[in-house]
A and B are shown apart, each in its own frame.
Chain A
């Protein structure tokens, strides 16, 4: 019995040692992710600012305009929101449902004035008073938008993130073509990531092979050459590409000097898709080279001799003997580069211009500029799901245990 007790207590102590780690993961990983995912479906801002109006609207049948009582509640809550300085936040959110409503909501309390009491001004109804300020108060869509904005839980952001919209009648459908931006952006991100991964593979495979099969001195030099950019600040590397590729940059200057390109027809190689491709491939290349290097180093050089002695031409030996043995490294490198590429932000932001922006740049825009955190969270959540989906697919097709990172 004492032995069992002791074993249990030592197990508990051992488990206790992992607590800081668990806490660290909870604070740095689970909490922000959970917060993000919550924000994509939950938003209580409007619901907290206009609770009674929303309660009244809940009873409304959604046709025509709501009752006079609802108008009254709305007016009083708008006035209170103005005094509590929360009006702007509510107005912004409602405006996202139907643009134009922001000014309507902000100006209504202002026009009502400071000394309006519980009775409508000029002895009329509240409805008349609001309609006098803006005719939109008489529109059914306005009230539907307010009711929609007041939902605590909403699929709105996710629908938005895949270019669907909720129509006034509550159904959802595709947005008008001119406003569909996210699905094309996701697709572009996907193609760029696949393209960058393939480029990294095509460039990285010979490099890794050269590192492994060069003599010991050259091998170290080459490995350092791959690693030095790895240690250099991302910003420096990206800026270097700007210096090289811009219109008056090194590459264009050389091309003009050689007479290949006319001076007034310099090639636009940066601030567009080309810039994004070139800079991202360069930045992500080490993530492809290192797993390949590690796998190639474990393949005995004798295998190629053996294949040759068995009658295989160098091409056959590569295709049948060498390449299949490097597949775990190819898989690891490709997965690593692809997952990093699909969420890449800084490089496209710096060198991508308009046409080279990726989904992460849009997420950043909604986080920092438009402050539509719900939409940003939904976009990010879809990206996360896509990455997890690809990971699962990779596991099914290739097997994650066959992957070798080093």
Chain B
């Protein structure tokens, strides 16, 4: 019974600030107990609004949000018992670190001895023992972030929301904190809903990622699935690097279809079940593209012109002209016997049929592409 009920559920939730444009359009989403779910999307895609509605700072314009099966609509934020980590930490500057951490316990009238014990435990969890008497202003950004996380956990909520908590940190610290947050999640087993626009962050920490776009969820899946099996051109483009080619379906055969890219017909995995004559977007990951493959190695081959070759270290990055697309990338792994190309060379490229995915057309994600 417990496993059947999601910890958090959005049912047909809509949100509009001005009564005309919807920031969140008809959201349906379930979050499981103990899950780490990331809401990923560009800024303005409605993901933070979803979080703020759950925390109680905003009210949905329509639909309802349930926590443990009960609607939280009439519950004020201070009664929801949800830990929130804010983008700019929102630590109270007039209190010490210890004071900040003790605050949620004091308003809950936790006995003093237990308070001290729990504050100490929370600081140990984020590896900031002995920082009780410092003021937030005396801490580095990373330390402040740890305090903010500790404060959101110290009153032992079952649900923790994080709104771009690493946005203000530099890259190295961000990567360090990603693993830290992952560790804490695994240690405590709380449900975490995490908002970010950084896809790498989402990949590192999440059990599942919901990709947001214009107030809608484009796809929700595990990081691996999102990367390997995107169902929308937007997702294919947003998660990792992808080559997108305009194409037209010429033949269908179960899950496989033939598509005309304008510079040759290739076979691809049919994601949506399309019909002959449909426009599609063909997505192929750069690392799946073979340059100058052995004859017969790949089912699909096209000719292309090398425009740029850059040595990155672990791979050679080749920019190619394929048909009218002059931004087609191929990565040649730096392994013994890798071939090389020079700018200006005419080359053959190829890939396996299942690595080419025919996705529904989406005009807004095709940059560097012209009509086939």
Contacts and interface: CB of A to CB of B under 8 A. Distances in A.
Contacts of A300: 88, 90
Contact of B86 (A306, A313, A314, A324): A306
A312 B107 contact: yes
Interface in B72-124: 76-84, 86, 88, 90, 92-94, 103-104, 107-108
Interface in A339-372: none
A313 B107 contact: yes
A325 B88 CA distance: 17
A310 B84 CA distance: 8
A316 interface: yes
B155 A310 contact: yes
B55 interface: yes
B294 to A, nearest CB: 59
Interface residues of B, number: 25
Nearest to B148: A306
A47 B77 CA distance: 80
Interface in B138-160: 151-152, 155
A305 B155 CA distance: 16
A179 interface: no
A310 B55 contact: no
B57 interface: yes
A122 interface: no
Interface string A219-261: 0000000000000000000000000000000000000000000
B84 A309 contact: yes
A314 B151 CA distance: 19
B107 A316 contact: yes
A306 B78 contact: no
A203 interface: no
Interface in B199-225: none
Contacts of B107: 310-313, 316, 320
Contact of A303 (B77, B90, B108): B90
B92 A321 contact: yes
B141 to A, nearest CB: 16
B86 A310 contact: no
Most buried by A among B56, B79, B80, B103: B103
Number of chain A interface residues as a range: 10 to 19
Contacts of B57: 305, 308
Contacts of A320: 103, 107
Contact of B84 (A306, A316, A317, A321): A306
A350 to B, nearest CB: 42
B166 to A, nearest CB: 16
B108 A306 contact: no
Nearest to A308: B77
Given A310-B103, A311-B108, A312-B107, A305 B77 contact: yes
Contacts of B93: 325
B90 A306 contact: yes
B102 to A, nearest CB: 10
Contacts of B90: 300, 302-303, 305-306
B160 to A, nearest CB: 10
A317 B93 CA distance: 14
Contacts of B104: 310-312
Interface string A182-220: 000000000000000000000000000000000000000
Contact of A305 (B55, B81, B103, B151): B55
Given A324-B94, A325-B93, A325-B94, A311 B78 contact: yes
18 contacts: A300-B90, A302-B90, A305-B77, A305-B84, A306-B84, A306-B86, A308-B57, A308-B77, A309-B80, A309-B82, A309-B152, A310-B151, A311-B78, A311-B108, A312-B103, A314-B78, A320-B103, A325-B92
The 3 closest A-B pairs by CB, nearest first: A310-B104, A306-B90, A308-B77
Given A302-B86, A306-B90, A309-B55, 12 more contacts: A305-B77, A305-B84, A306-B92, A308-B57, A308-B77, A309-B78, A310-B78, A311-B79, A311-B81, A311-B107, A313-B107, A325-B93
Interface of A: 300, 302-303, 305-314, 316-317, 320-321, 324-325
